[in-house]
Amino acid sequence: MQPPRPAIVNSRRTSRLPRGARRLQLLRAAQDVFVAQGFHAAAMDDIADRAGVSKPVLYQHFPGKRELYLALLEEHVSELGERVAQAMGGTDDNRARVDGAVGAYFDFIDAEGEAFRLVFESDLRNDADVRAIVDRGTSVCVEAIAEVIAADTGGDPERALLLASGLTGLAETSARWWLPRKGTVSRDEAVSLMSSLAWRGISGFPRVDGDQR
Amino acid at 190: A
What is the sign, positive or negative, of the torsion defined by CA atoms of 112, 116, 121, 127?
positive
Mark out the alpha helices in 90-208 (DSSP H runs): 94-110, 116-120, 128-153, 157-178, 187-203
pLDDT for 152 equals: 77
Walk me through the domains of the chain, giving residue ranges and CATH numbers: 20-63 (1.10.10.60), 66-201 (1.10.357.10)
CB atoms within 10 A of CB 126: 8
CB of 190 closer than 8 Å to CB of 174 = yes
Tens of each residue's pLDDT in the chain, 213 residues = 444 554 444 444 446 778 889 999 999 999 999 999 999 999 999 999 999 999 999 999 999 999 999 999 999 999 999 999 999 888 888 889 999 999 999 999 999 999 999 999 999 988 999 999 999 999 999 999 998 888 877 778 898 899 899 999 999 999 999 999 999 999 999 999 999 988 876 665 666 554 444
